[in-house]
Structure 1
Amino acid sequence: MNFASLPMYDLPELASATGAWWAGLAAHMQRQGIADVPEVCAVPDDLERHWCSPNLLFSQTCGYPLTHQLNGKVRLLGLPVYACKGCDRDGFYSSVIVVPGSSNLFSLADCRSARAVYNTDDSMSGLLALRAAAASQHDQADPFFRSLSRSGGHRRSLQSVADGKADVACIDAVTFALLSRIEPELVSRVRVLGQSPKVPGLPYITSLTANAETVERLRTALRQAMADPALSDVRAELLLSGITFPDPAHYNVILDLEAAASRLTLA
């Protein structure tokens, strides 16, 4: 039995739209002759195990897992393009660097010795983006930030900064745009200092065992779903505007960023 998931940008307020997007994708997959397309998405407890399963038909991951723990274990299908500030038409995106709206921090240099917060250890947009941004200001052995805490999610990081419990965080541009619409009061309590370096966005993947014919059918289904007029409202709600099919080597920019910032001690 195949299974699928859409675990990225899975805000509770978007559950209906995410379900409708999967239903549309699934219908186009079935029209392409793909067998055993799940009716609903799974909600896995162990994402890495889920992604590495030979029964994975479709999912979305982050660029950092793709270049690290999933390297050589999954197949890149395509790269969705998002219509929001901080995202380019080629699918590259950045994170926004946020501080409390009432703070006296007006540049990244001002954040030296500040309290930083990030979402998860395997996040390009939360942790590595923060590291890369700090490395652009600091190349010494002593720590850049006074403290560094893990929140468990971008929304929690944003809440921590808005509440003044942390001074700075990097928030995925798509998440920030979605929350600006869903929870404007929260976003209004932070101020954007700038953006992190741009990297390829969050890719759609399938099992490494998928053959070339299945991969091409999945990509055709993605093209058709992104152009389907019946799904235009759902795509707009999720900020989806297109699909690209990059060479997997494009994601090596993440490894380059990590290497360039490897000497930096965050806290």
Structure 2
Amino acid sequence: MTPLIASLGMYDHPAQQGTNDRIWSAIVRILRTRGVEGVPDVLDRKRHVHDLWRDPNLLFGQACGYPLIADDSLALQVIALPIYDVPGSTSSDATHASVLVARANDGRRSLADYRDTRAAINDPQSNTGMNLFRATLAPIAETSVFFASVVQTGSHRASVAAVAAGDADIAAIDTVTYATLMRHEPDLTALLKVVARSPASPTLPFVTSAITSIETIAALRFALQQVMADHCLADDRAVLGLAGIVTANVDALAPILRLEQSAIRCGYPDLR
């Protein structure tokens, strides 16, 4: 049997890696008890998550929701949506948002003041870094171009660092990532201020390959439910901000598409 792979790379700050390893080890034990074959012992941290999403051997991962609705070539099935309990998230449902952050001492007061400045995005297909950023700006953009320039940084943390260093003026960072940075890198976030908050959106879904069987998906959902209820993992869930899961399929990501369509109707189809 071809070895399967697993990843929790979307929220895997160095301070969280041990936690993710323990969560995965618990999932492994449950899956094997349920008869799932080929379950990997460890998480794959060698490959970029974008590559893992396209691997047909992906047993378990977490993906950004925007590529799932915008890229027809991405063959993944949604297992569940996580519920996060972090500042800026709604702990009662599987939604989160982005905070638009800027340097604390830049003198600007409102989002409109950032017209003709420099924006940073982690990836053009990021929901929280681009799509929610665009959705927040669309009602005030007035034209199809809002910023003087937009730089792609490769990660939310890199966008935060770019703003803090003065290499960009504003960025949209998802609330789970920003809460993690506030907790583990307070000297970095202390340089920033929150200018605005985006509309709410579904959280980053847990996913599996399109060829994963119905039986294995059921086992994965069962394992996630068990992990969320395991009191021995309470501290680990707290480190990740995890409060629960909601079983879901790709239809649960429809609000992401609606935000894109709303921005287009406002005459702001691209973040620029």
TM norm structure 1? 0.94
Equivalent in the alignment of 1:106: 109
Give me the whole-angstrom Cα distance separating, in 2, the residues matched to 1:147 and 1:72: 29
| Alignment CA distance shift 1:174-1:68 (3 Å) | same
SS in 1 for 2:87: coil
Do the aligned partners of 2:7 and 2:49 also contact (CA within 8 Å) in 1? Answer: no
Q: Deviations over 1:183-230 (max 9, x none)?
A: 011111100112111110101011211222221111111100111111
Shift of 1:68: 2.3
Unmatched runs of 5 consecutive residues or more in structure 2: none
- Count of residue correspondences: 266
- The yes-or-no answer on 1:115 pairing with 2:118 is yes
Give me the whole-angstrom Cα distance separating, in 1, the residues matched to 2:164 and 2:258: 31
- The yes-or-no answer on 1:96 pairing with 2:99 is yes
Q: Which moved more, 1:130-139 or 1:76-85?
A: 130-139
Equivalent in the alignment of 2:47: 45
Shift of 1:49: 4.1
Which letter does structure 2 place at the counterpart of 1:42?
D
Equivalent in the alignment of 2:227: 225
Give me the whole-angstrom Cα distance separating, in 1, the residues matched to 2:56 and 2:102: 42
Which letter does structure 1 place at the counterpart of 2:139?
S
SS in 2 for 1:29: helix
Unmatched runs of 5 consecutive residues or more in structure 1: none
SS in 1 for 2:11: coil
Give me the whole-angstrom Cα distance separating, in 1, the residues matched to 2:231 and 2:10: 24
Higher share in helix: 2
Equivalent in the alignment of 1:136: 139
Give me the whole-angstrom Cα distance separating, in 2, the residues matched to 1:65 and 1:167: 26
Give me the whole-angstrom Cα distance separating, in 1, the residues matched to 2:93 and 2:202: 8
Which letter does structure 2 place at the counterpart of 1:117?
A
Do the aligned partners of 1:100 and 1:161 also contact (CA within 8 Å) in 2? Answer: yes
Do the aligned partners of 1:44 and 1:50 also contact (CA within 8 Å) in 2? Answer: no
Q: 1:7 aligns with which of 6, 9, 15?
A: 9
Give me the whole-angstrom Cα distance separating, in 2, the residues matched to 1:70 and 1:133: 25
Q: Deviations over 1:73-116 (max 9, x none)?
A: 11110011111122222111100011110012211111111211
Equivalent in the alignment of 2:77: 75
| Alignment CA distance shift 1:21-1:58 (3 Å) | same
Shift of 1:46: 4.9
SS in 1 for 2:10: coil
SS in 2 for 1:171: strand
Shift of 1:266: 3.8
| Alignment CA distance shift 1:46-1:187 (3 Å) | closer
Alignment of 1:87-236 (within 5 A): 87-88=89-90, 89-141=92-144, 143-236=145-238
Give me the whole-angstrom Cα distance separating, in 1, the residues matched to 2:102 and 2:50: 31
Q: Which moved more, 1:130-139 or 1:55-64?
A: 130-139
Give me the whole-angstrom Cα distance separating, in 2, the residues matched to 1:48 and 1:99: 27
Equivalent in the alignment of 1:238: 240
Do the aligned partners of 1:52 and 1:70 also contact (CA within 8 Å) in 2? Answer: no
